[in-house]
Amino acid sequence: MAIGTPIEPLTQISPTPARTDRTAQTARKPRKKLVRRVGRDHSQRLRHGFQIAFLLLNVWIGAEFYLWVRGFETGSPVSFSRPGGIDGWLPISGLMNLKEWLLTRHIPSIHPAAMFLLLAFLGIAFLLRKAFCSWLCPVGTLSEALWRVGRKLFQGNVALPRWLDPPMRSLKYLLLGFFASAVAIMPVPSIRSFMHAPFGLIADVKLLNFFRFIGVTGLIVLGVLVLGSLLMKNFWCRYLCPYGGLLGLVSLFSPTGIRRKEERCIDCGKCARACPSHLPVDKLVTVHSVECTACFECVAVCPAEDALALSIAQLPGVKRAPRRLPAWAVAVAIAAIFLGIVGYAKFSGHWQTNVPQAVYQQIVPYANEATHPMP
């Protein structure tokens, strides 16, 4: 395995002749005069703030949900209702509900928040690339924390060899294809009967119980994922996460992207070395990759004034320079999309699953016995 090897073969390549990694290492002497950037970069502090806030929100929701489940198991249900935000952990339910809503214009009553959260994250991906992965996703946050710890422990992270990286990255699309095709072939009546069956109603409880009563196989898989995440940057996100795969495909249509001004760039290569997605930012004019998470790591380390920025694409025929999007604007946009869609769902009465407590009392304590209704 090679350490920190830039991997992604990409789209719009700078007219500057490509260099091998070895020559790039030795030839990284500034060829142009550096106009040093003034002012400090706050993008990473802002992004980490979002990550921590969203992680804490998920811990809060998870704790509330656990207490709600325990209430039914112990026969003394708690006074608060099931936290609707737990639906964020049910992306397949979100996809099924989205299909039902698109085909019938009827907002489903079971796990509706899963659909609204999916819509929010798809909206963020369309406008701001895979910013959900690097700004909000709790799994992405833990992944990032693990590779940073691993980098300290092992004096660096490793990257898969070039020949192995693309087939490994395709795994997440295989998983996405499997889940998406399963939903695509389900007619709406089948989706409804799936969601209203005990398995669909308490898919969230089953997920919780998977981790509460995890077996040896589950622990081994979890251990491999943790080890991979310590060794490699964003191991789960890069190779296995179907949700990230879907958001990456949507981000291909995004009008925003990291853009490098060649006349300002001094070819120091710091951006490419900082990119957790191994993108050769220093050789591209515009980063169009499905792996870009709008994390601003490349922008944060760039020493040249105005050389690198997340920018909005120009419309054809428009002469004006692409409009730059600072990190604070990305933060505001993420918060507005997320809070706007969640707020709409809450205030219109479409956030909570519409199931009486008595039904939950009958099925939650026996969640492990609920089997998948599909053959």
Kindly state the tokens that stand for 65. Answer: 């949900």
Nearest approach, Cβ of residue 222 and ligand SF4 (Å):
26
Residues 301-330 that bind ligand SF4 (CB under 6 A): 302, 304, 307-308
Q: Is the dihedral of CA 311, 315, 317, 323 positive or negative?
A: negative
Closer to ligand SF4 by Cβ: residue 54 or 101: 54
CA distance 317 to 109: 46
Q: Which stretch binds ligand SF4 (CB under 6 A): 222-230, 247-255, 293-301, 333-341?
A: 293-301
285 touches ligand SF4 (CB under 6 A):
no
Q: Is the dihedral of CA 15, 19, 24, 29 positive or negative?
A: negative
Helix axes 242-251, 165-184, angle to 10 degrees: 90
Nearest approach, Cβ of residue 272 and ligand SF4 (Å):
7
298 touches ligand SF4 (CB under 6 A):
yes
Nearest approach, Cβ of residue 269 and ligand SF4 (Å):
5
The C-alpha torsion from 278 through 281 and 287 to 291, rounded to 10°, is: 10
143 touches ligand SF4 (CB under 6 A):
no
Which of 80, 78, 81, 85 is CA-nearest to residue 58? 85
Which of 351, 277, 259, 362 is CA-nearest to residue 313? 259
Q: Which of 122, 279, 334, 364 binds ligand SF4 (CB under 6 A)?
A: 279
Nearest approach, Cβ of residue 29 and ligand SF4 (Å):
12
Closer to ligand SF4 by Cβ: residue 93 or 134: 134
260 touches ligand SF4 (CB under 6 A):
yes
* DSSP per residue, 3-23: TT------SEE-SSPP--HHH
275 touches ligand SF4 (CB under 6 A):
yes
Site string for ligand SF4, 2-41 (x = CB under 6 A): ----------------------------------------
Closer to ligand SF4 by Cβ: residue 119 or 308: 308
Q: Which of 270, 285, 309, 337 binds ligand SF4 (CB under 6 A)?
A: 270
Q: Number of residues in contact with ligand SF4, rule: CB under 6 A?
A: 27
Residues 174-213 that bind ligand SF4 (CB under 6 A): none
β-strands 256-260, 323-324: how paired? unpaired
Kindly state the tokens that stand for 319. Answer: 């002469």
Q: Tell me which residue has tokens 């070039």.
A: 162
Q: Which phi and psi (to 5°) does residue 263 adopt?
A: -70, -20
Nearest approach, Cβ of residue 128 and ligand SF4 (Å):
10
Which of 76, 98, 70, 311 is CA-nearest to residue 186? 98
Q: Which stretch binds ligand SF4 (CB under 6 A): 47-55, 136-144, 220-228, 260-268?
A: 260-268
Q: Which of 208, 268, 285, 370 binds ligand SF4 (CB under 6 A)?
A: 268
**298 and 281 in contact (C-beta within 8 Å)?**
yes
Contact residues for ligand SF4, defined by CB under 6 A: 258, 260, 265-271, 274-275, 277, 279, 281-282, 287, 292-298, 302, 304, 307-308
